[in-house]
Amino acid sequence: MSSLPVPKRPFVHRKHGRARPDPYHWLRDRDDPSVIEHLKKENAHSQTWLKDNGGDDLKETLAKDMLHRIVEDDSTPPLPNGAYRYYTRTERNQPYPIHCRRKDAPDAPEEIILNVNALAEGQDYIRIYQRSVSRDHRHLAWLQDDDGSEHFRLRVKDLSTGEMLDYEVADTKWTLTWAADSRTIFYARADAAKRPYQIWRHDIHSPPEDDVLVFEELNERYFVSASTSSDWQRIFVTSASKISSEIHFLHADRPEQPPQMLWPRQENVEAYATFAGDRYLIRTNLGAQTFRILTVPAQTPQATPTEWLAADPDITLTGMAAFNDHLVVGMRADGNEQFQVFRRADNATHRIEFPDPSYMLGAAGNYEYDTENFFFSYSSPRQPNTVYQYNMETRERVLLHENPVGGEFDKDNFIIERVMVVASDGEAIPLTITRRRDVVQDGNRPVLMFGYGSYGSTYDAYFSNLKLPLLDRGVIVCIAHIRGGGEMGRRWYDHGKKEHKMNTFTDFIACAEHLVASGWTRPERLAISGASAGGLLMGAVTNMRPDLFNAVVAQVPFVDVVSTMLDDSLPLTVTEYDEWGDPNDVAVFERMMSYSPYDNVTAQAYPAMLITAGLNDPRVSYWEPAKWAARLRERSISGAPVLLKIHLGAGHGGKSGRYGIIEDYSWIFAFVLKQLGVE
């Protein structure tokens, strides 16, 4: 576009005898003032497009609709944790949560333990991670990100006085867990590539310079983490790549002792541990693609493990929650997460059932070990998030809380369908379709379809207040549960990575074609959306079938695949070899080149594109979407808009706070509705 001149400074990538000219390589230099100026022009261009096309008013209307659908004053249910019950609430006109507790007694007063709104004063961005209370309930620790870069500050508050401790631990990374003594914290530090590679021990009564290095991982494929078992008996230090893991342990009441080996690493073998009274429980895919559970006696942790729960080829085990008398095992069967409850005394078992054909399920605040109650959350595209207390012995299910929905809402006005779409190789792909009950198959319905399909991550169907304004306007909202994700178990993941990656893209295209062929929509009324690796999906399928879509939303998209995977100085690159392959191998290089979105932009009629990025994003560098937008704009012959919207003060997740999220999505959905002709 003439309004956005992009200098073309000569640069050529060379690898395996192939030269790849990259005229937009200069955008990588964020210290160059012309780069920031260019990004600001991109934002201005996007804003001008929205205004000139009548989207400003629609955006404001959508934002009001979204806010109207949220009950701003709400609270999670108070869940038991020792002498207290902990909960989180929100207040009108406050963007961030307020974390609270009460003594577990009638009429006990509320104690605010962390008001994130107060922490955020004077800041444009804040996110809190790994919030954790010490075993004696006196101290609260958390990791704080102030700009989206995921460089965290470890902060600690004395809840008995309400005062912050007079120091911070800078440059921490993701992990935070307490020892049983209520004064020792284990945390992680990152290397130059932002990989968590060290576990440190910190005494809250000593300065950070006295902290002790506990564990170091030098293999660049592996990330380290630490966690405490729910019975406060063990601390686990895990070092894991995408496909292998190693586990060490410490006694939680002896945190000064060095870690001991529990599970040595083996290539292509994953293992995840917890502790339950007299034994270690290890969930592993050793000899079992769908995972099994082994046990090791507490007194002889180096003993040969014995099998406790055998693998089932149709069920993938996804997690464990240990209690004094029970074990809850998370598993994926028939495309949905499920919970299986085992009584440890005799292995008597039952499954917790759920009504919708597609849904999202998760554990919720299970702080206590010696209890018969298991807390979980459940939602579906028509069911607002609910939290239940479930008695594992009596099987009684008690509804504790259902997220309220503002305005008129009746879940029976919406229909969820899950259909199986035949892919190009004959595989059956689940497709979740959510619509208002009065929406009919007339071949002309507006559709927004989402997808991801990487890392074995699941894209489960959940309730979203933000999507209600779409459904209210007759838009059909779909999720394609494509290979590369974990929706249908471990095989689903394995058949959508590395040499099988093309399945991810052809599965998504098959789902889009099904929506057209089955009479729901036509390409002119079909929009698609994906984020991060889902943005890679958007780029690949748009290069392959630009005629199939009217509008594409790619949030923080991983689109310059080959250049990024050849640059091992970037965060995450080496660890990603297990997902995508190592392009230093010529065969892998050619495979990546066949689908890398940036490298495959050609002179064809592309649909309208909205691309987002974050200047501080440590996962997908901002220059990938910036370069891709420039190349699309240069080569597309359709005349459809190519818009880049970049957050100059945020990272991978966009703006922080619930109002920031509403602002982001009102923009995105205004773009989609304008392109689909929905007012």
Spatial CB neighbours of 104, under 8 Å, sequence gap ≥ 6:
80, 83, 84, 85
Choose among 263, 361, 356, 245: nearest CA to 304: 263
CA distances from 132 to 162, 215, 319, 454, 487 (A): 16, 21, 21, 30, 30
32 catalytic? Reply is no
52 catalytic? Reply is no
Q: What angle in degrees, to the nearest 10, is found between the helix axes of 33-52 and 55-68?
A: 90
25 catalytic? Reply is no
Q: Is 666 left (phi over 0), alpha (psi -120 to 50) or beta?
A: alpha
DSSP state of 105: S
How many CA atoms are closer than 13 Å to the CA of 32, on its beta-carbon side? 11
Query: Are the C-beta atoms of residues 244 and 270 closer than 8 Å to each other?
Result: yes
Taking the alpha carbons of 543, 548, 551, 555 in that order, is the dihedral positive or negative?
negative
Strands (E), 437-581: 447-451, 476-480, 526-531, 551-555
Query: Are the C-beta atoms of residues 271 and 282 closer than 8 Å to each other?
Result: yes
Task: For 409-422, give one letter per residue: b (16+ CB within 10 A) or e.
Answer: eeeeebbbebbebe
Query: Are the C-beta atoms of residues 95 and 87 closer than 8 Å to each other?
Result: no
Residue 363 phi, psi dihedral angles, 5° rounding: -70, 155
CA distances from 503 to 262, 384, 439, 514 (A): 37, 33, 31, 16
Taking the alpha carbons of 286, 288, 291, 294 in that order, is the dihedral positive or negative?
negative
Q: 91: part of which helix (H) or strand (E)?
A: none
Strands (E), 381-446: 383-391, 397-402, 414-422, 428-436
User: Residue 349: how many CB atoms within 10 A of its CB?
Assistant: 13
Cα angle vertex 381, ends 377, 385, to 5°?
Answer: 25
The amino acid that residue 473 corresponds to is R
Q: 44: part of which helix (H) or strand (E)?
A: helix 33-52
Query: Are the C-beta atoms of residues 347 and 341 closer than 8 Å to each other?
Result: no
Which of 146, 460, 599, 617 is catalytic? The answer is: 617
DSSP state of 568: T
Taking the alpha carbons of 371, 331, 418, 434 in that order, is the dihedral positive or negative?
positive
Cα angle vertex 345, ends 311, 366, to 5°?
Answer: 75
Residue 224 phi, psi dihedral angles, 5° rounding: -110, 155
For residue 336 the two structure tokens come to 């949905």
Which of 464, 532, 656, 666 is catalytic? The answer is: 532
Spatial CB neighbours of 520, under 8 Å, sequence gap ≥ 6:
433, 441, 443, 445, 447, 476
Choose among 25, 18, 2: nearest CA to 598: 25
The amino acid that residue 554 corresponds to is A
CA distances from 196 to 8, 78, 145, 219 (A): 37, 33, 16, 11
User: Residue 326: how many CB atoms within 10 A of its CB?
Assistant: 21
Choose among 197, 157, 156, 193: nearest CA to 174: 197
Residues marked active site are found at 532, 617, 652
